[in-house]
Amino acid sequence: MLKRVNINWDVKVLDSVALADQYRNMEYEVGVFVATYIKDPDAVLSSYYDPEAQGNMGRSNNKKANQLMEAARRELNFEKRKKIYYDVEKALYDNYEDAWMWHYTWITATRKQVLGYNREMQIAGGNAYWPTHPQWFKDGKSN
């Protein structure tokens, strides 16, 4: 897909230490950022856009976005907080902070003999759901 827009992406798979070193020294042109289920936008925003955060590694210091993130942290009204986070997204977008190229979609399907999955709890719990809610075979048998 990237070749259609004249981007030749030479993918390099690195171990964690080498990857962190290249990110810290900004020795890359394109990096992949993966955020799994996001329960609260502040966790991702703080990790990657706050200039003091370890995930930032000196790549961003958007003062407008930083002020908005701080305001969102203090806001208790959900609707007002949501509007502030939309404003954060716009500030990052307007400053060309990142190019969002895809979004993951997860689908969970199980056989009838697999028990223990609760869709509503998985949506509410996000990443915390899977390690805390085991599944099992009905009658202890796989078929």
Each residue's pLDDT tens digit, 35-72: 655 677 888 888 888 888 877 777 789 999 999 999 99
DSSP β-bridge partners for residue 115: 136
DSSP β-bridge partners for residue 88: none
The answer to whether the CB of 135 falls within 8 A of the CB of 115 is: yes
The answer to whether the CB of 88 falls within 8 A of the CB of 72 is: yes
pLDDT at 104: 63
pLDDT band at 84 (very low <50, low <70, confident <90, very high): very high
> Of the segments 32-36, 65-69, 95-99, which one has the largest average pLDDT value?
65-69
The answer to whether the CB of 60 falls within 8 A of the CB of 93 is: no
Rounded Cα gap, residues 87 and 95, in angstroms: 12
Task: Region of 124 please: left (phi>0), alpha (psi -120 to 50) or beta.
Answer: alpha
DSSP β-bridge partners for residue 114: 137
pLDDT at 29: 76
The answer to whether the CB of 136 falls within 8 A of the CB of 115 is: yes
**Residues 12-25: tens digit of each pLDDT:** 888 888 888 887 78
Rounded Cα gap, residues 40 and 49, in angstroms: 15
pLDDT band at 91 (very low <50, low <70, confident <90, very high): very high
